[in-house]
Structure 1
Amino acid sequence: MVAIPVLIFLLMTSFLPTAPKANYTFLSLGDSYTIGESVAEQDRWSVQLAGMLRKEGIDVASPAIIAKTGWTTAELQEAVKVSGNRNTYSLVSLLVGVNNQYRGQSQERYRTEFRELLQTAVQYTGGKSARVFVLSIPDWGASPFAAGRDRNKIAREIDQFNTIAKEECQKAAIAYVDITPPTRSATGDESQFASDGLHYSGKQMKLWAERALPVAKKLLTD
């Protein structure tokens, strides 16, 4: 007698519709700051941003992410090619460059490779530059890891790389979100950093998401 209602239940549920797909899709490209090194998945800034957008009534899926700790602009571009990802997304973010600075690569090289990545990001939106936004490079010199290093030099170089990124975004009519100031304000506050002392915590990345929120919302709804 028990088997009959169970069988009926299974037959009924097998015909239930699957959950509808989100109205908007989101791709996040980058390095350790995007993949969220040393933090939980839900603390990644792009994941937090997607959640904030949903609270604003914008039905966006959790982001697909192509990012890895240590990647430079060239390594990110190569990873995109290797991924074979040919999907088109409603929204694409880009945050990359800290490893170019850390490794001492030239600003000229960064400009060239960053420009190419902007083009790649636009391709992922089906050619809509108005659906792409860039986050500035955080200042790792503010982290405990940088203790004993020349923090002024690090900050100066980060600013130079960010100036390049901003200039290239302006040329390509792509939105630029400056998240560097809050990373510098984090100095001395352990809660702002991940356990490795170098990368940022979900608490700090929430500030990035909050700064990106009005920009992303506008890009999706205009």
Structure 2
Amino acid sequence: MKKFYLLFISVMLFSCSSTLDVVNNPEPENPNYTYLALGDSYTIGESVIETQRWPVQLVEQLRARGYKMAPPKIIAKTGWTTQDLLQGIDNELSIHRDFDLVSILIGVNNQYQGKLITEYEEDLRTIFRKAINHSKTKEKGVFAVSIPDYGYTPFGAASQEEISAEIDRYNAVFRRVAADFNVPFYNITPISREAKENPDLVASDDLHPSGLMYKYWVDQFVNQVAEKLPE
């Protein structure tokens, strides 16, 4: 597969699909619940506005259900590998800071940069341990979101079969590690593969998900996430 890493990490167009309406529920004065989102460009919402990032949309949907959620704490940057995320966690979190919810979505840049999948698994296990340590209810408060398949975007179309096969391999490891830690794994990859037939699911950079796709992700797992919040 041709490597266009500089393009991958430098796309900085901030626009969104006009087909998505985002409802902003008022931020509660005294929020009861906190949320930590760990990841890369998919978690920080490359090429969409802040309100369309999926962790932000998740919080909004939980608020709409009556949960007094604080804004999400997001530790994620475009281009991050598992090693970068581990460093980011250590840099940005004190050892004693805990959250009601913690999400993990990481791995596409390990795949893109041709990192060893054994290294990915080793790092991923460390990330899960850290996530559980920063969860108030330990593994009960943690969930994983699968790696989307950028082979179905205009950017990856020329190498779709190879990309998709590699993403499947990484997600198989991701799913297995999540199961080992008794953490649910929400598989949004099939939604990402709808982008080939629905251009509204792709951001203006032709690579990352649009706010509408992120909404579909959240719609899929918000009920299960809500059940994780303590009464």
TM over 0.5: yes
Query: Distance between the aligned counterparts of 1:130 and 1:152, measured in 2?
Result: 36
Deviations 1:189-212 (A, max 9, x none): 221111111101000000111122
1:40 aligns with 2:44: no
The alpha-carbon deviation at position 221 of structure 1 amounts to: 4.2
Aligned residue for 1:91? 101
Give me the whole-angstrom Cα distance separating, in 1, the residues matched to 2:32 and 2:48.
28
What is the Cα-based RMSD across aligned positions, in Å? 1.4
Structure 1 counterpart SS, 2:71: coil
Structure showing greater Rg: 1
Aligned pair partner of 1:185 in 190, 194, 201: 194
1:132 is the counterpart of 2:142 = yes
Give the Cα separation in 2 of the matches to 1:157 and 1:84.
32
Runs of 5+ in structure 2 lacking a partner? 1-27
Identity %: 40
| 4+ long deviations beyond 6 Å | none
Asked if 1:143 corresponds to 2:159, the answer is no
Contact 1:107–1:161 (Cα < 8 Å) also in 2 = yes
Contact 1:31 1:95 in 2 (8 A): yes
Larger helix proportion of the pair: 1
Deviation for aligned residue 1:127: 6.0
- Code of the residue aligned with 1:100 in structure 2: it is N
Q: Distance in 2 between matches of 1:147 and 1:173?
A: 35
Name the SS for the 1:144 alignment partner.
coil
**2 CA distance for matches of 1:188 and 1:129?**
37
1:175 and 1:215 in contact (8 A); partners too: no
C-alpha deviations, 1:76-115, integer Å up to 9, x for none?
Answer: 0011112244421110001000001111111111111011
1:167 partnered with 2:176: yes
Q: After TM superposition, give the deviation of residue 62 of structure 1 in Å.
A: 1.8
Q: Partner residue of 1:27?
A: 36
Amino acid at match of 1:131: G
Separation of aligned partners in 2, 1:74 and 1:36 = 20
Aligned residues: 203
Going from structure 1 to structure 2, the CA distance change for 1:169 and 1:129 (only over 3 Å counts) comes to same
Q: What residue is the counterpart of 1:3 in the other structure?
A: none
2:156 touches 2:163 (CA, 8 Å); kept in 1? Answer: no
Q: Give the CA deviation at 1:27.
A: 0.6
Q: Which residue of 1 aligns with 2:122?
A: 112
> d(CA) in 2 for partners of 1:97 and 1:37?
15
